Amino acid sequence: MLQSLSHWNEEESGGDMKKNWGILLLGLGLVLGCESKQKPVDAANWSGQMQNMSQDIKLLIPFLYDKKSYSAKENEEKISRALDDLKSQSHRVPEKMGEKFLGDDPILSFSLNNLQSDLSRAASSFKAGHKEYSRSVMKSSIGHCFRCHSLTTIGSEAQWDLSDFNQLEINSEEKLDLMIAARKYKEAYDFVEKEITRPGIVDQSPMRFEGLLRKHLALSLRLNEKPQVALDNLNRVLENKKLPPYLEKQVKAWRDSLKGWTHFKKKGDLVQLAEARIAKALKLQEFSYDHAGDVEYIWATDLLHESLLKKQDPRKEAKAYYLLGRAYEVLDDLGSYGLHEAYYEACIKRSPKSKIARRCYDRFESSLKMGFSGSAGLTLPKEERKKLDELKEYL
């Protein structure tokens, strides 16, 4: 999708399976460390600001990847102070920062313009007691910091060396998330490979196995240009006689989708092709937490990101954003963390006063309220209510 990222996203390799698909693990949002085009004095100020922000990030990482610690009462003051400081630093982030690397993609420019709002959401939701929602937003943010620093030799790439965090007392799922956030894809793949082949995991912890297997599939597609490796992995999983019936169905659906993707020839409108893939995914989904359509959703994102490489009619572009939102909403727990909300918002602003804008608003509002709902009911912070009111002006 981004020419500046082609050295790792391999758009120029000709491989359809990997073309544009890296966006799933790239996400968008808080691109905090890219090279500046400012004057030298601004660059110096930016460097100092990044150092300050990096200290807050370093402080937050052990909590972000440990759900229990992030929610613990004794850590509230330290976490809240770091979040507030990070939010304060973001007030001085130039809108054009990182343009050299991000190019002209509208959704990424949109994300940069909302940096301050995203940090405010994490800080305010934490103070309101919605700590898991706050943690999700910040995990996404940290992931973008990792990625931006690793794309350029400018800045301190070494700051994101995971060796500092090897002693964290976190479970395997959180450790895997940290590897993915830091773009340690091969390490993450090898790690999850060991986890899913542990004796007894299928019959003893089928739901945990399912979650790990979904990420294993996503990482396999990320690392391999051709789907054969992923197909071989799925065939190996299907040999396990203890596989629960519901999970066997999902794995077979993934395998069938991958076979279809392998022989697929792009003919016709890309947005319409993507819409067909999402329709297929919805048919495969028989219950709320059925992930049989995962590959179809990933396939759809590949088509949609390619469609956005060329400028098109605002309503058609808004529809592409809407469909990306639908796909990433399902794939959210694979590493995109709230990416769907950004696409819904972009959809609303790209084609105001339209039916597609209304559909995007409804999805955005529903997702936002879900993030703030709890046992005590819905408590939407003032900042979020204001956000919804602002978006209503586009309807």
Checking if the pLDDT of 41 tops 50, the result is no
- Banded pLDDT at 291 (limits 50, 70, 90): very high
Checking if the pLDDT of 158 tops 60, the result is no
Q: What is the pLDDT of residue 288?
A: 79
In tens, the pLDDT along 230-263 reads 999 999 999 999 999 999 999 999 999 999 998 8
Q: What is the DSSP string of 301-318?
A: HHHHHHHTTS---HHHHH
**What mean pLDDT comes out for the span 266-276?**
95
**What mean pLDDT comes out for the span 172-200?**
86
Checking if the pLDDT of 12 tops 80, the result is no
Rounded CA-CA distance 64/163 in Å is: 16
**What mean pLDDT comes out for the span 155-170?**
56
- The residues, ordered by sequence, that sit 6+ positions from 77 with a Cβ below 8 Å of its Cβ are none
Task: Record the pTM.
Answer: 0.74
Closest alpha carbon to 227 in 25, 23, 26, 18? 18
Share of the chain above pLDDT 90, in %: 40
In tens, the pLDDT along 304-317 reads 989 998 888 999 99
Checking if the pLDDT of 176 tops 90, the result is no
Among 32-46, 109-123, 137-151, the minimum mean pLDDT is found in: 32-46
Taking the domains of the chain in order of start, what are their residue ranges? Answer: 1-169
Residue 51's H or E segment, with its range, is helix 40-64
Q: Which long-range contacts (CB under 8 A, 24 or more apart) does 58-63 make?
A: 58/159, 58/164, 60/86, 60/138, 60/142, 61/142, 61/165, 61/178, 62/165, 62/168, 63/135
Q: What is the pLDDT of residue 109?
A: 55
Mean of all residue pLDDT scores within the chain: 77
> What angle is formed at CA 101 by the lines to CA 95 and CA 106, rounded to 5 degrees?
55
